[in-house]
A and B are shown apart, each in its own frame.
Chain A
């Protein structure tokens, strides 16, 4: 059966790490997950729930012990396809300082396509486009180590974009950034998804970042245990808290307002949504 070229999919995915002498820890205990082309998926879950292990399977950094992973129709177990899959599903990691290899921004972005054997003129074009997409074209000649954390992460994203991927997998890309850096990265990611149709898989511990997604997947102990649009998932506050997760900061305020008899929509979780809700209630009162 030909696999769906419009999705990234894990089916019955099982993976364990060896601790040492025949001791294992199960990281993924049978994961079924599907991401459609053009979708923005957020993955949340406590530390050790298997989020990063799953992400690494999409990029063939890990192979399934059992089960399968398909990236736009390509099975990751097929060795002939490894590089094509990696080109198609690029990864961005947490630490901005560990991902940059060159001494000039544009050379760093060119690194990937150069390795693909792309023509120099085409590389130039790809680098320019990629840097423009992440709003870093004005800093193309800068030394990466002098950039801020948010700028470094945007260069890392540009490096992935220069490979013309269908999907970008981001594993806690904002964990080490200051508030402005976080905003820059989230804006960039959202832009790539909405304007360029790039599929986004975004792993995060910041619940408010999951609000940008079309769909949220909640993992615990190597399994997917909840999934749905963010505003539906965050309605299940008790369950999330029992997993060691939370709702976005303003979720607590919405909840407290509800208890005080102010019936704001419980899924109003961003500043803008809550402002609209409160103004609506006030003018109705």
Chain B
């Protein structure tokens, strides 16, 4: 289910003294099965943009097309759209409210008119997808850790079986293990065929996970390319207040010191290869 955004502009409080242009003439297309990172400084329009993709916000001008259909056309059901485009908000665990984990995850699918058995199957499948142990399902959400609760919230959206999953900072505030755990689950869901849009301030994470990055700055789409393409423009990345992964900055500093290394790298393995080549050593055979 491709998503296409055409000349999207969004203005908050239009006509009032607090009028603010949040998005300005943004256009892009996301195809089935992509893993897209949406990055940009605070206030660049990321949250406004993702809320347009499942119809929570209406464009001031421009269009959002899903499967080639304008989502605001007459006869389009926003309810159906939101089943197909799932959105996990930042700090989503704050929205967990049911008495048990199971009931909380079941809340969405229950509104789909499925049988109780189908609902429970979906709950258990979603719990597996996000890595929640089955024995937690009948506990009260209050007994869970922050990282577990975050998984419950993601499972609630995953249980709707959306074709597109949008996550706003799903790993913020989690410890490194919690962060890796959630991100690798999202990676698995992507491998299972879901289109994923990940909003993140963590450049290391998006460089590692995403095939493509959309970069917003002051409401405008200022870059659209692979992490390698985006982060190799390091001056530009810094200028808009982002920061390339440490390995990129390392390669750049080495170049300044006369090393003949590539700077368009995105991960530790590539950095290692470049450094070893320059030192005249062989890369080790991975065991």
**A residues apposed to B, CB below 8 Å:** 19, 45-48, 94, 148-150, 172, 175-183, 205, 207-208, 244-246, 248-250, 252-253, 256-257, 259-262, 271-272, 274-275, 278-279, 281-282, 285
Contact = CB atoms under 8 A, between A and B. Distances in A.
Given A178-B41, A249-B247, A249-B268, 13 more contacts: A46-B175, A148-B42, A175-B172, A179-B242, A249-B246, A253-B272, A260-B281, A260-B282, A261-B284, A262-B275, A271-B246, A271-B249, A285-B280
B211 interface: no
For the complex of A and B, 4 pairs with smallest distance between CB atoms: A244-B177, A180-B241, A179-B243, A246-B176
B interface residue count range (under 10 / 10 to 19 / 20 to 34 / 35 or more): 35 or more
A260 B273 CA distance: 10
A172 B173 contact: yes
Given A48-B146, A271-B253, A180 B242 contact: yes
Given A179-B201, A205-B176, A261 B281 contact: yes
A197 B204 CA distance: 33
B245 to A, nearest CB: 7
A183 B243 contact: yes
Contact of B41 (A148, A172, A253): A148
A275 B173 contact: no
Contacts of A259: 284
A177 B175 contact: no
B257 interface: yes
Which of B40, B203, B245, B279 has most A Cβ within 10 Å? Answer: B279
Given A19-B142, A19-B143, A250-B250, A282 B279 contact: yes
B155 to A, nearest CB: 18
Contact of A178 (B143, B146, B242): B242
A278 B146 CA distance: 40
B178 A278 contact: no
B274 to A, nearest CB: 11
A55 B279 CA distance: 46
A150 B41 CA distance: 10
Given A244-B178, A278-B254, A279-B257, A262 B249 contact: no
